[in-house]
Chains A and B, each alone.
Chain A
Amino acid sequence: MKIGNYNIRVKISELSVGEFEDCYTIMNNPDLTPVEKYLDVITYLIKADGGDTSIVDEMSDDDFFKIIKAFTKTKSTPSFKNKINIDGVDYFAYPNGEKFVLKARDLATIEKIFMNEKNFYSHLLAVLFKNGDENHYEPNNIKSRADKFRSLNAADYFKYIIIVSDKVKVKIQSLYDEPTK
């Protein structure tokens, strides 16, 4: 999207999984003010596109707030692909023709990742997408797949983040709702 003199990627479909994770890390940095966070994200994206980051210092407040608005208001429709193909290898979250089922063992691994890992999106995909490897859950194997998955389009698999988050929320709520023995 062109805003003023700036070409900025504002849609999730314009980002890779890795870029999304890096932007997310910046936006959740408790040491930055809200304005600093957005400035750092803009700088990051311009740099990723090979642009001159010094132009950020000269940005007018008008353009700055237009960009923030574009980040927050631009709608994307996350897709829900069941397959990842990387380096000639196919990984599936669920078989073709069937529905996605979040498995307990996957969620246990995802919870561990969530506690320790800032690159949550790529690691979540590394857990959910399998290729029949019997050592699928080995931490080193998860990390290796996650590193590869950072190059994927962020919108193509974002619905998995939503589904997992919703399941976790429902799970926690059910603990409060159920009468105790």
Chain B
Amino acid sequence: MMNLPNNWGEISYEQYKELNEIKNLELSFTQLYIEVLSLLWDISPNDEVFDMDIDEFMDYTKKVEWVLREPVITKTYSQWNGFTLKNLNKLTLGEFIDIENKINDLDNNLDWLAAITYKKIKIDEWGNTINEPYIYELDHRISLFKEAPIPLLLYIKKEYLQWRGTFMDNYKELFDNGQPKDTDDLDDEELVGAEVKLSKINNKKEQIMVKWSWENLLWGLSGEDIIKIKDIFNLNVIYVFNMLSMKKSLT
């Protein structure tokens, strides 16, 4: 019998992403498991291996049906391979923005998320934990976390989304949850002539504003001084949003 993984620790992140793609395909039972087994065995779905008897095939499907379920994370992964999970309340604005840039496709960027949130640490002369500054080569760090176990990557995803939910809730007045209208959604029967043209121009402006929203925030915080943006990146994200909340309240 050919070997199969027994737990998520034996599945690579690349395999995990491909499994998610397979799950989203509309396949029949047998086709689905042929795709899963060919992924886990690193063979083609057309390989002669799948000329096996259906009873033998069913034995294999029973051994791997667990990979089609989302893993249950029961363990915490505060440390891995010399890296320590940073207290998320201490994320800098730059780290937060970089994570947010991938938030809509997080399952395909869990290595990115881990590379930003797990840090090397040291203890200073007063016994305080110091996180490494966010100046390391991110691509290299991502390549390390591609090898991290799936449970760790899903753990940090769960932790981050939980933290993010609370963060967004605390500062909801600062986030515009509305999406700009797509021009196709405009009811041209209600708007005529110049109104249609103006509406489309404004909608385009709004789309541009959404696209550049983080950069726009940084530009505003730096007082339109590009030299200062780097310093702003290193400010604590909660501090920044507290200041923005205060400013919004006062104005």
Contacts and interface: CB of A to CB of B under 8 A. Distances in A.
Number of contact residues on A: which range applies?
10 to 19
Q: Across the A-B interface, give the 3 residue pairs with the lowest CB-CB distance, nearest first.
A: A111-B28, A104-B57, A108-B30
A77 B58 CA distance: 30
Interface of B: 28-31, 33-34, 46, 50-54, 57-58, 62, 65-66, 69
Contacts, number: 54
A175 B65 contact: yes
Contact of B66 (A102, A107, A167, A181): A181
A88 B62 CA distance: 43
A6 to B, nearest CB: 42
Contact of A104 (B34, B65, B69): B34
A111 B27 CA distance: 9
Given A175-B65, A178-B62, A180-B69, A105 B28 contact: no
Say what secondary structure dominates the interface of chain A: helix
A14 B204 CA distance: 70
A103 interface: yes
A171 B62 contact: no
B54 A103 contact: yes
Contact of B51 (A105, A111, A174): A105
B65 A108 contact: no
B54 A111 contact: no
A143 B28 CA distance: 20
Contacts of B65: 175, 178, 180-181
A89 interface: no
Interface string A153-171: 0000000000000010001
